[in-house]
Amino acid sequence: MTAKEAPGDVDVVLVMAEIFRLEEAPRETRVIFSHADAHARFGASVFWVRRGILPDAQMAGFLEFWQTRRDGMKRGIVEVIA
Protein backbone atom coordinates (compact mmCIF):
# COMPACT_ATOMS: atom_id res chain seq x y z
CA MET A 1 0.00 0.00 0.00
CA THR A 2 1.19 3.50 -0.76
CA ALA A 3 0.10 7.02 0.03
CA LYS A 4 0.50 7.94 -3.64
CA GLU A 5 -2.76 8.45 -5.50
CA ALA A 6 -1.39 6.75 -8.64
CA PRO A 7 1.91 5.02 -7.87
CA GLY A 8 2.37 3.88 -11.47
CA ASP A 9 4.25 0.69 -10.80
CA VAL A 10 3.91 -2.78 -9.42
CA ASP A 11 6.48 -5.18 -8.00
CA VAL A 12 6.04 -8.84 -8.89
CA VAL A 13 7.92 -11.89 -7.68
CA LEU A 14 7.11 -15.01 -9.66
CA VAL A 15 7.88 -18.31 -7.96
CA MET A 16 7.69 -20.86 -10.72
CA ALA A 17 7.36 -24.63 -10.48
CA GLU A 18 10.57 -26.66 -10.34
CA ILE A 19 9.84 -28.03 -13.80
CA PHE A 20 9.35 -24.58 -15.38
CA ARG A 21 11.59 -23.93 -18.38
CA LEU A 22 11.52 -20.42 -19.85
CA GLU A 23 12.40 -21.69 -23.30
CA GLU A 24 9.22 -23.82 -23.24
CA ALA A 25 6.95 -20.93 -22.22
CA PRO A 26 4.73 -19.44 -24.92
CA ARG A 27 6.67 -16.71 -26.74
CA GLU A 28 4.07 -14.03 -25.92
CA THR A 29 4.54 -14.61 -22.16
CA ARG A 30 8.34 -14.46 -22.10
CA VAL A 31 8.42 -10.66 -21.82
CA ILE A 32 7.40 -10.90 -18.16
CA PHE A 33 10.50 -12.95 -17.36
CA SER A 34 12.81 -10.16 -18.54
CA HIS A 35 13.04 -7.47 -15.87
CA ALA A 36 13.94 -4.70 -18.34
CA ASP A 37 11.33 -5.70 -20.93
CA ALA A 38 8.54 -6.07 -18.35
CA HIS A 39 9.38 -2.68 -16.87
CA ALA A 40 9.44 -0.99 -20.28
CA ARG A 41 6.23 -2.61 -21.51
CA PHE A 42 4.11 -2.87 -18.35
CA GLY A 43 5.75 -0.56 -15.80
CA ALA A 44 6.27 -3.58 -13.56
CA SER A 45 9.40 -4.66 -11.72
CA VAL A 46 9.36 -8.42 -12.22
CA PHE A 47 11.72 -10.88 -10.57
CA TRP A 48 11.41 -14.62 -10.78
CA VAL A 49 12.86 -17.74 -9.26
CA ARG A 50 12.26 -21.44 -9.77
CA ARG A 51 10.89 -23.24 -6.69
CA GLY A 52 13.43 -25.69 -5.30
CA ILE A 53 16.43 -23.57 -6.35
CA LEU A 54 16.56 -22.06 -2.86
CA PRO A 55 16.07 -23.98 0.38
CA ASP A 56 12.78 -23.11 2.12
CA ALA A 57 14.49 -20.82 4.65
CA GLN A 58 16.25 -18.86 1.89
CA MET A 59 13.02 -18.63 -0.11
CA ALA A 60 11.29 -17.19 2.97
CA GLY A 61 14.12 -14.65 3.29
CA PHE A 62 13.87 -13.80 -0.41
CA LEU A 63 10.14 -13.12 -0.11
CA GLU A 64 10.61 -11.21 3.16
CA PHE A 65 13.16 -8.96 1.46
CA TRP A 66 10.79 -8.13 -1.42
CA GLN A 67 7.88 -7.61 0.96
CA THR A 68 9.75 -4.93 2.92
CA ARG A 69 9.38 -1.38 1.64
CA ARG A 70 12.16 1.20 1.77
CA ASP A 71 10.60 2.69 4.90
CA GLY A 72 10.71 -0.70 6.66
CA MET A 73 6.97 -1.29 6.47
CA LYS A 74 5.60 -4.49 4.94
CA ARG A 75 3.71 -4.71 1.67
CA GLY A 76 0.89 -7.15 1.30
CA ILE A 77 1.66 -10.29 -0.63
CA VAL A 78 -0.88 -11.97 -2.86
CA GLU A 79 -0.21 -15.59 -3.67
CA VAL A 80 -1.75 -16.93 -6.86
CA ILE A 81 -1.47 -20.65 -7.47
CA ALA A 82 -2.22 -21.77 -11.00
pTM (whole model) above 0.75 = no
Give the residue ranges of the chain where pLDDT is below 50. Answer: none
Report CA-CA distances (Å) from 59 to 6, 48, 51, 66, 75: 30, 12, 8, 11, 17
The pLDDT assigned to 67 comes to 86
Instruction: Sort 38 into a burial class: Cβ within 10 Å, 0-12 / 13-18 / 19+.
Output: buried
Helix/strand/coil for 10: strand
DSSP assignment, residue 19?
T
